[in-house]
Copies of this chain bind each other. A is one copy, B any other.
């Protein structure tokens, strides 16, 4: 295992997560201004992000974060969380965590975005990158696209952009990270994938930490590059009541995945994380007909 990242490396990651958050919020607010429609929500006022700072309750854990949420006319609900927390893993968990057997203290920082658009013609999306530090340190993350009405061009541009980001890191990793995503975002009880995939990776701790950090920045930039562009192409069209109904059903699958299977959600809720920030990923309106 590698040595733990030093304070400067941790600080730099936090700065990047905040910077990426600002860029993502600006891009998504820009779409709120740019939508022309006419569609079912385009006559509403453009949305703006509201930021709420939170701190972890006492009890051995510390840190906090900023939840940025926008409810708009392109995005029915989109949340971008940046959080930095530290504390001590319970004896129950530490055995599973690299570098925590020797010393249970950890530090973790990350950015997480979940976007639920108004229009069923605009795909929902998720993006997350993080740095975890114990007596060693590693990056993890991923992003994936969840359309209601899949579109071959959107699909292709999403995957091609992620492939370029991966290729800049390592010529073989894209296939592996794509397969990992397909495997992870799957609902076994439905026999359905959550969406059309993307990439997923964890425990990225190559010998050169600079390269790993450059890669998660590339993932963030790739998402910033491709997702707002897809939204921009699809956001003006009006939709049918049947497409809206399909969207609310599809969102139910999203809820099922996040509450039944998502490790981050379950881990966060079971270990006293910020419930509002963790469940910000849940869609604004959902149906189980």
Residues in A lying within 8 Å of B, measured CB to CB: 77, 189-190, 248, 252, 255-256, 259-260, 266, 269-270, 275, 278-279, 282-289
User: How far, in whole Å, are A269 and B188 apart by their CA atoms in the complex?
Assistant: 9
Contacts of A252 in B (CB 8 A): 282
User: How far, in whole Å, are A218 and B282 apart by their CA atoms in the complex?
Assistant: 39
In the complex, what residue of chain B is closest to A255 when comparing beta carbons? B255
9 A–B contacts from the bound complex (CB under 8 Å): A77-B289, A255-B255, A255-B259, A256-B259, A259-B260, A260-B260, A284-B289, A285-B285, A285-B286
Contact of A189 among B255, B256, B260, B275 (CB under 8 A): B275
Distance from A12 Cβ to chain B, minimum over Cβ atoms (Å) = 32
Distance from A22 Cβ to chain B, minimum over Cβ atoms (Å) = 25
User: How far, in whole Å, are A284 and B286 apart by their CA atoms in the complex?
Assistant: 8
Contacts of A255 in B (CB 8 A): 255, 259, 286
Contacts of A275 in B (CB 8 A): 189-190
Contacts of A288 in B (CB 8 A): 77, 279, 282-284, 286
User: How far, in whole Å, are A275 and B191 apart by their CA atoms in the complex?
Assistant: 10
Distance from A99 Cβ to chain B, minimum over Cβ atoms (Å) = 27
Using A282-B252, A284-B289 as known contacts, say yes or no to A266 and B259 having CB atoms under 8 A apart: no
